[in-house]
A and B are shown apart, each in its own frame.
Chain A
Amino acid sequence: MSSVNIRKPLSFKTAQTEPRLSGSGGEFLLQVRHLRTIFQTEQGSLPAVDDVSFNVRRGETLGVVGESGCGKSVTGLSILRLVGPPGKIVQGEVLFQETNLRELSRSEMRKVRGRQIAMIFQEPMSALDPLMKIGVQMIEGMQEHLGYVRKSAWKQGVELLQRMGLPQAAACMNAYPHQLSGGMCQRVLIAMALACQPQLLIADEPATALDVRTQARILDLLRELKSEQSLTMLMISHDFGVIADVADWVAVMYAGQVVEYGPAEQIFYRPSHPYTQRLLASVAGIYSHVKQEYLPVVEGTVPDMGELPSGCRFHPRCPEAEADCRKIHPELFQIGEEGASHWVRCLKRENVRVKPHAE
């Protein structure tokens, strides 16, 4: 086993050459406003991300949860403008340090990607180039963005892999992806994302292929970067344990939209939207130590993006649905007391609403 001290802070040389975006950033590092991304298919245009808005403060973590296929990955990819055809961002703003990323040129965007905003992709083994050595893929970013020479980038790469808990990190740098296990590939991707010391990290299921012990090591590292270097994160995960561990805020998505959004404790302890409530019941079932015949699930199936239900998109599955729910599409409204910062998209919670979101 490696004897690397995982608590040692990451040592980076500060690069002087980094391209600074205009504006110092203000309170929010990332503001996503009314983002809409569609896929043109034979069935028509599918709104994979439909009017999504949220803000992330510098140094905070927003956890994104929601049913498979609800648009979490596409949201992350849209922020970085990595959605390829037939997908297209058709509406909305992505403000990073008050610069609208949608207005940057391709080359400006390339400088932001990897350097200031990094992403850990879902499905680690497919995200790596099978024909290139791990090390060569790792140092690419450091050479391009930080101007490192090959040797020091390589050394930095080994150090990063060691901190991810990879045994024999130096040898891993010389291996090809197929020679590593699924969890090892995932850790390589995390190391690559952190290599250029980004300010914002979009992590799409970063710890699914890891055992609890390794996962805790990664979470501790992220927590440390968060407190020491104000690393800001968008954490997409199905693992409510991971979300509970790192997220300050949680956004719950359903069928391309944010249906509930608020501080983590609010969402975990006082969920308001019927979908969130059922999702958490299912979480409680799986985490319970008592073996059950049948685990609770959110009944019904996810709607196909091509044929979304009228009115509230959750109505065919919602036990609280009423006639209005089939006709009126609810807005995302703030509920509770002023300043509670809890938003819900549900007609039956409107009695407690305060004001619409993102105004």
Chain B
Amino acid sequence: MMIRKLALAASAALALGLGGTALTLAQTAAPPTPASALRGPSSFAGIADRQARSVALFSEIGKVLTHPRCVNCHPATERPRQTDAMTLHQPLVVRGKDGHGAPGMECTTCHGKQNVDYGRVPGDPHWALAPASMAWEGKSLKDICEQVKDTSRNGGKDMAALIKHVTTDSLVLWGWKPGPGREPAPGTPAQFGALMQAWADTGAACPAS
């Protein structure tokens, strides 16, 4: 009994000690940005070199572009993925000739105009896969960056059109309101739009890797 009491006291002391350490750390170090947050453009203002600032801004943008909410429907293969774990879409569905699925089983067979939470099926008025030329799955940030800017692959969008697309397209914006059971894309649409604008304003430079 006595031994047990001693052991309890020791573990309580240990717990208190660890708690104290964590508290000290929290008071002295800046809290790290959680994966679900985005840094705004102003937090890159300290990078004097314009090109380096632009690259840093794109790296922040990349947190959104490489998130499961975006990559799942920008697949490198014929098959989209689903869930935060990015598993292959179930049932088996394919891109089809225009990104809307196979004849007889298009995206719209299951995906309606809006999320249906009780059925666990997300939705949007134009639910579809991104074109194969905009596949992001498995790509480096450098490759994604070059792809996004390339008007021969991005649907002929110049920078203004690209920013309009990512700030107003309902399927892009769905990434931040995906419904229960799916982690939203990091930050907010407004933060994402501001980062895109700042990236464009600094010359839209791409990372080296």
Asked if A and B are interacting partners, one says: no
Seen from chain B, the residues whose Cβ lies within 8 Å of a Cβ on chain A are: none
